[in-house]
Each structure stands twice: as structure tokens, then as C-alpha cells.
Amino acid sequence: MPEPPSVEVVRTELADLTIEAPHSMNGYSRAKFPHWSQQGNSCDTREVVLKRDGENVTQDAQCRAVSGSWRSLYDDRTLTAASQVDIDHMVPLANAWRSGADDWTTDRRKQFANDLAHSQLIAVSAGSNRSKGDQSPDQWTPPSHGYWCTYARAWTDVKHIYQLSVTQPEADRLASMLDTCP
């Protein structure tokens, strides 16, 4: 995952975010966020992240990861098969919808769902990704406390880049997680 900005920059970004109640889920569908777009060479976004975040990843002619290993930073697990790995949207699609993406165009949602340039996509264990679901940091944090600083920096930066709002409990939790940064 691309490194999020420093804690100092992120604290400023957090202060700039709009704090408001979550938007309605009316009209939400994952299909409104076209994801796993083609990235060239028969690779989709998922396969690019698997290669980027793994070690010694070998891909077949269709760009599928057939071997390698991945470190799931959420729960400090080492995974040895791509089938054990989920690509997590740091800010989940449903959370983005509740935070302002309900007003976006489909093209903007597609950009968000496939963002390889920022800290939005990360390879993690399927179990940790599914336990997170679409929850914000006030509802779910990575089991690995050592990852809280990076998680809060990445979450806040993505929300800032895409001008998404936060709830007050979310902002409070992000601030306390940033306090774990060295």
C-alpha cells in the first residue's frame, strides 16, 4: 500500500474533514462502485494489489497470483495462497456512500474503488477484512495495535482526498489512534 502522509499532515487533514451524521443507505449497491478494473496486461486491480503487497509473487499468463506470500498487517498473519487474501478498501464502499459518495458520479466511484495511487487498497487476511465489513474506526480497529497509526493515517488521508465526511465518534477514534504514532 502506498505510504500515507505523516501524522502531522494527517492531523491537519482530520481537522479539515466535515463532521456530520451518516448519509442514508438508500440507493446503495456495491455495483455503483465498479471495482477490479482492468489495469493492463490482463491484470485487474485485485491482481495488481496482490503483486504489489506480496513477496515473491508469481503470476500466470492471465495475471492471477499462483504463488507467493502476503503479510496481513491488520492481524499479523502470513498468508501463503492468494485465495486467503482479500483486497480491503481502507474506507469501505458503503462507508464512503454514507460519507458523501452517494452524490458522486459512477466514474468517481470507480476511481475510488480502484485507487492504486493512495492508501485505499491493501491486501489483508480474508478473516480480518470480513470482520471489518463496512465499519468505521470507532466500530472496528485492526487487531494488531501496532498497525493503528498507519491505519488511522491511511483512513484519514483517503477521507480527505475524496472529501468524505466523518462522524464525531469516528473523528474522536481517529485522533486517539493517531496518538499511538511515534
Q: Residue ranges of the domains in the chain?
A: 7-178
* pLDDT per residue rounded down to tens, the chain (182 residues): 999 999 999 999 999 999 999 999 999 999 999 999 999 888 999 999 999 999 999 999 999 999 999 999 999 999 999 999 999 999 999 999 999 999 999 999 999 999 999 999 999 999 999 999 999 999 999 999 999 999 999 999 999 999 999 999 999 999 999 999 99
Helix (H) or strand (E) holding 159: helix 148-161
The answer to whether 4 and 178 are in contact (CB under 8 A) is no
pLDDT, residue 142, reads: 98
Write down the pTM of the prediction.
Answer: 0.96
pLDDT, residue 91, reads: 98
b/e code 65-78 from CB counts within 10 Å (16+ = b): beebebbbbbbebe
Smallest Cα–Cα separation from 91: which of 64, 70, 120, 67?
A: 120
Q: In sequence order, what are the residues at sequence separation of 6 or more whose Cβ sits closer than 8 angstroms to the Cβ of residue 113? A: 33, 34, 35, 37, 45, 89, 93
pLDDT, residue 94, reads: 98
In this structure, which amino acid lies at residue 176? S
Q: What share of the chain is helix, strand, coil (3-state, %, to 5)?
A: 40, 20, 40
The answer to whether 152 and 137 are in contact (CB under 8 A) is yes
Residue 138 CB: number of other CB atoms within 10 A? 17
Q: Where do we find the cell 496482490?
A: 50
